[in-house]
Amino acid sequence: MANDQEIAPQFGHAMRSYFQFDASYIPLNHGAFGTYPKVVRDRLRYFQDLTESRPDDFFRFKLAGFVDSARGAIAEYLGVDEGECVFLPNATTGINTVLRSLVFEKGDVIVHFSTIYGACEKTVEYLKETTPVESAKILLRYPLGDDEVVAKLRNKIQALKGEGRRARVALFDTVSSLPGVRVPWERLVKVCQEEGTLSLVDGAHGIGHLRLDLGQVQPDFFVSNCHKWLYVPRGCALFYVPAKNQHLIRSSVPTSHGYEPYPIDGQEAVFNPLPINKGGYFVNLFQFVGTMDIGPYLCMEEALRFRQEVCGGEKRIMAYCEHVSNEGARKVAEILGTEIMENEEKTLTRCFLTNVKLPLRMGAEAGQIKPADGFAACSWMTQTLIREYNLFVPPFFHDGYLWIRLSGQIYVEIEDFIAAAEVYKELCSRVEKGEHIKR
């Protein structure tokens, strides 16, 4: 009997027929919003039609069973307990859920790296306005070795202790967004365990992208977008909280029917009009969080089936995506005459994202970009890519240089990266001529 890899289709452009792309579009930015196959789209529409056929019956009596089935599928995929997994619309909601649930006291500090996702950093800033918590940002200038990143976190936590403050929680990525590099998150969790700090892992680029041994690593809180790399429709994210920490999550965001206020003598309990899930308080909190399209959550089993039966399984997917991302980036760097962001241990590129430096010089001389015009150059390139070239590869600043981030996926080939390199070569020439400030 043939194994999965023998019967699976060839990755690359042959896989485009399984997805919904415009025939002329070059999709090299899967890491931003993801996408999903046609069979998963069909499953999504099935659940949307089922919802609309009998809305009250669906939301009141059928929804819980469907969601439980999806939770069971993702729990089995990850090798963790079903009661520790719930769904949210996106990773940002999960980060907010944890940070807004913790009760902060004077002297408490949220520790994070400078590469934190922007929306999460703004959440931290908001909490500093509304609670006693402070924050401590650790500067990362890539390329850095994993040992340096781990040491920076430990040193910061210990320094805070020496100042009489407490690193209440440390927030860090599995794979950071910009730059797109693999973070030694497993080792960072261990640091937190040894130093008595809660670990909050932003795994937006996690599930379907990296092997996640959650049961072994045991982060205190872990959230990961399923709509980025797992081929589930937007928006759907896994929120994993080990049973030992679930008492810290008192409410969903926003608070909904599953929340149970602490009883107060003489005060009548608030009525919950929906059936109670037997999975316990944590599961019930997230069973129904306001009326919205739950269809993406319910596509979990179909997405996992596609990955296994059509693609040949996780190892095959991950091997190809990492390979095409790395080889494609080498071609891009060669064409642009620049370099890939990588450290000596070659760990930054052990993922599906790669970063290549652009051949643009910052400065005040002719042909150089004035530092004050840098963001204007990024904005102009971003818009011009879509309008004129029908592809998208995001440019970004890091440590004084302009870079681009490329995404590997089963439906792209090296020639797509070459095409992007030629486009960026032309764009950089146009920027050097000042076109980005002539609009």
Report yes or no: 340 and 309 within 8 Å, Cβ to Cβ. no
* Mean pLDDT within 34-61: 97
* Mean pLDDT within 145-166: 98
Sequence-distant (≥ 6) Cβ neighbours of residue 238 within 8 angstroms: 74, 78, 85, 86, 87, 88, 207, 222, 223, 224, 226
Q: Could you report the per-residue pLDDT of 250-266, keeping only the tens digit for each?
A: 999 999 999 999 989 88
Alpha-carbon dihedral of residues 102, 103, 107, 108, nearest 10 degrees?
Answer: 0
Q: Could you report the per-residue pLDDT of 273-329, keeping only the tens digit for each?
A: 888 888 899 999 999 999 999 999 999 999 999 999 999 999 999 999 999 999 999
Backbone dihedral angles phi then psi of residue 432, each to the nearest 5 degrees:
-60, -25
Banded pLDDT at 439 (limits 50, 70, 90): low
Q: Could you report the per-residue pLDDT of 124-141, keeping only the tens digit for each?
A: 999 999 999 999 999 999
Sequence-distant (≥ 6) Cβ neighbours of residue 20 within 8 angstroms: 35, 38, 41
Q: Could you report the per-residue pLDDT of 405-414, keeping only the tens digit for each?
A: 999 999 999 9
Banded pLDDT at 3 (limits 50, 70, 90): very low
Backbone dihedral angles phi then psi of residue 131, each to the nearest 5 degrees:
-135, 175
Instruction: Check whether 152 has a pLDDT greater than 50.
Output: yes
Q: Is 266 exposed, middle or buried (0-12, 13-18, 19+ CB in 10 A)?
A: exposed
Percent of the chain clearing pLDDT 70 (strictly above): 97
Report yes or no: 137 and 77 within 8 Å, Cβ to Cβ. no
Q: Could you report the per-residue pLDDT of 78-121, keeping only the tens digit for each?
A: 999 999 999 999 999 999 999 999 999 999 999 999 999 999 99
d(CA 64, CA 358): 49
* Interaxial angle between packed helices 146-162 and 185-195, expressed in degrees from 0 to 180 and rounded to the nearest 10: 20
Paired residues of 221 in beta bridges: 200
Instruction: Check whether 44 has a pLDDT greater than 60.
Output: yes
Report yes or no: 207 and 73 within 8 Å, Cβ to Cβ. no
